[in-house]
Amino acid sequence: MTTKPNQSSLNIGILPYDMQANRYIEKNRLILEKLGTILPVPHPAKLLKTLLLNVFRTGKLKPFDVLILNWRENALRSENNSITFKTIFEYISTMVLHRLSCKKLIYVAHNRFPHNIDKKQQTTAKKIIKFGYSLSDLIVVHSFPEADPGKKIHYVPHPLYDINHDNEILNPPLFMGEFYVIIGRIQQYKNLEKVIINWPKNKSLLILGPCDNKNYLKYIKNLIKNKDIIIEAKFHSENYLKKCIEKSKGVIVSNDNESMYVSGSFFFAISCHSKVFALDSPFYRWINDTPLSPCIFSFSSIDKLIKAIENQPELAKGQCECIHQLASPLFGDDIIEDSWRRIIYN
């Protein structure tokens, strides 16, 4: 039976505690600091040692009142994007260890299964992740229509991004006409090759993000020949991304929604007052019933998305200057704090 945490002295562990390339963790950590003391979660070997020392010294096992896990499904994926006995053991053993170390375990499900794994292993991945869910007290998703409290799946909004301005000299690429942007890590699940193959000659495209897969990067660079497409395959500052997005006609989110719930690129884009062109999903169908709908366009396929950009010039007219204001009631810090408070304290 789950023990309710003491609100006056709440120790909240968060894993990972910090991510240099992703402000998501920092944003959530700052919000959670209003609810308790935020602590890093030690490496599994060190955490096990801590648990054992706690038992011998105090007779108590659990150092955390609440433990929030992010992206644990990625532990199932090896370096060559496959599930192995080693990765299965790592996932299960760390989930058991985390279960033992807290009074309430919260699993933030960013993805249904790890990106880019072979389709033949997706069912296996889902079954193993389901076991991880069973060890958790609550599962959190960032897609409102896919929450199901009856099955302990709760909704917490994904945060917006606070992009700080500095004196950095920024020189985005120059295009002759209007251009669109794709941001984030260059990976196969984002369908970049499909976007490039279908990209019209009368439009320009800028792809920004680091890439660890040299073969895939070489492949898509070969596809951009004779097209007005630039790929900058490296890490970019938030200021640079914001500058490029502000000069563009919108951000394309071509991610495979089969493996994921929501894309961080969407939230970064609307934080920069940008229109978004995305593939259809339960999340985007929900967005279409919110005040954000005039700025968000979703399509059933990449082919239809590209054709709309090519043939509907009205889609490219102006950015959505009020989008951040419209998004705040849905994804602002206050509603996120209320959501975390509700599921942590209940």
Pair 328, 141: CB distance under 8 Å? no
Burial class (CB in 10 A: 0-12, 13-18, 19+), 272: buried
Query: Quick check: pTM over 0.85?
Result: yes
Task: Copy the structure tokens of residue 143.
Answer: 């897609």
Residue 188 CB partners (closer than 8 Å, separation 6+): 115, 116, 213, 216
Could you tell me the sign of the dihedral formed by the alpha carbons of 22, 279, 220, 170, in that order?
negative
Task: Copy the structure tokens of residue 14.
Answer: 């968060």
What pLDDT shows up at residue 168? 66
- Cα distance between residue 274 and residue 9, in whole Å: 41
Burial class (CB in 10 A: 0-12, 13-18, 19+), 279: buried
Task: Copy the structure tokens of residue 161.
Answer: 């991004």
Element (H, E) at 234: none
Integer CA distances (angstroms), 259 to 17, 115, 188, 335, in order: 24, 6, 12, 26
Q: Residue 194: count other Cβ atoms within 10 Å of its Cβ.
A: 16
What is the pLDDT averaged over residues 8-13? Answer: 84
Integer CA distances (angstroms), 183 to 51, 129, 166, 210, in order: 41, 28, 21, 9
Pick from 160, 187, 338: which is nearest to 260 by CA?
187
What pLDDT shows up at residue 81? 87
Residue bearing the bigger pLDDT, 341 or 312: 341
Residue 170 CB partners (closer than 8 Å, separation 6+): 239, 240, 243
pLDDT value at 166 more than 70: no
Mean pLDDT of all residues in the chain? 91
What pLDDT shows up at residue 1? 42
Q: Percentage of residues in the chain with pLDDT exceeding 70?
A: 95
Over residues 46-70, the pLDDT tens digits come to 998 888 887 777 767 788 999 999 9
What is the pLDDT averaged over residues 118-137? Answer: 95
What pLDDT shows up at residue 7? 56
Radius of gyration of the chain (CA): 21
pLDDT value at 255 more than 70: yes
What pLDDT shows up at residue 59? 63
- Cα distance between residue 10 and residue 77, in whole Å: 33
Pair 106, 341: CB distance under 8 Å? no
- pLDDT confidence bin for 319, thresholds 50/70/90: low
Assess whether the previous peptide bond of 173 is cis (omega < 30° from 0). Answer: no
Over residues 176-221, the pLDDT tens digits come to 678 999 999 999 999 999 999 999 988 999 999 999 999 999 999 9
Tell me the β-bridge partners of 107: 69, 139
pLDDT value at 4 more than 90: no
204: left (phi over 0), alpha (psi -120 to 50) or beta: beta
pLDDT value at 112 more than 90: yes
- Cα distance between residue 263 and residue 279, in whole Å: 11
Q: In degrees to the nearest 10, what's the CA dihedral of 222, 228, 233, 235? A: -170
Q: Which amino acid is at 255?
A: N
Alpha carbon 13 to chain centroid distance? 19
Q: Percentage of residues in the chain with pLDDT exceeding 90?
A: 74
Alpha carbon 86 to chain centroid distance? 25
Q: In degrees to the nearest 10, what's the CA dihedral of 225, 229, 232, 236? A: -170
What pLDDT shows up at residue 17? 92
Among 95-109, 167-181, 200-214, 272-286, the range scoring the smallest mean pLDDT is 167-181
Q: What is the 3-state secondary structure (H, E, C) of 282-316?
A: HHHHHHCCCCCHHHEEEECCHHHHHHHHHHCHHHH
Residue bearing the bigger pLDDT, 130 or 2: 130
Task: Copy the structure tokens of residue 228.
Answer: 């007005």
pLDDT value at 125 more than 50: yes
What pLDDT shows up at residue 313? 77
Pick from 6, 12, 2: which is nearest to 337 by CA?
12
Pair 299, 318: CB distance under 8 Å? no
